[in-house]
Amino acid sequence: MSEEHLALVPGTLEMLVLKTLSLAPMHGWGIGDRIQQLSRDTFRVNQGTLYPVLERLQQKGWVTAEWRASENNRRAKYYLLTRAGAKRLAAEQRDWARSTRGIDLILRTEG
């Protein structure tokens, strides 16, 4: 907690959750933790917003959930990426890449 965490870029949580799940099925807490790790502590997920997002992703059919035994033999609810979710992730990544490229171009313009 030495360094100030940044809030997530607005609107990216869904994409980041999908990305995390594309690596491996994961339970809710793990997803938040994983995002923090992968961003090397740049971002910290507001845990209160995580579960509603997971709920919404399930409604859209991009993610499904099942109860599995977790590492220390306890049961946890694991989320899995569906085929539609993978497609969605690919699309969002494309869009994200384009918009960051665009933003980069603007920011690098010399005055």
- Contact positions vs another protein (CB under 8 A): 1, 27-30, 33, 46-49, 51-52, 55-56, 58-62, 64, 74-77, 82-85, 88
Closer Cβ to another protein, 52 or 102, answer by number: 52
Nearest distance from C-beta of residue 52 to another protein, angstroms = 5
Q: How far is the CB of 69 from another protein (least distance, A)?
A: 12
Cα three-residue angle 10-37-32, rounded to 5 degrees: 55
Q: Which whole-number Å values give the CA distances from 83 to 17, 95, 111, in the listed order?
A: 15, 19, 46
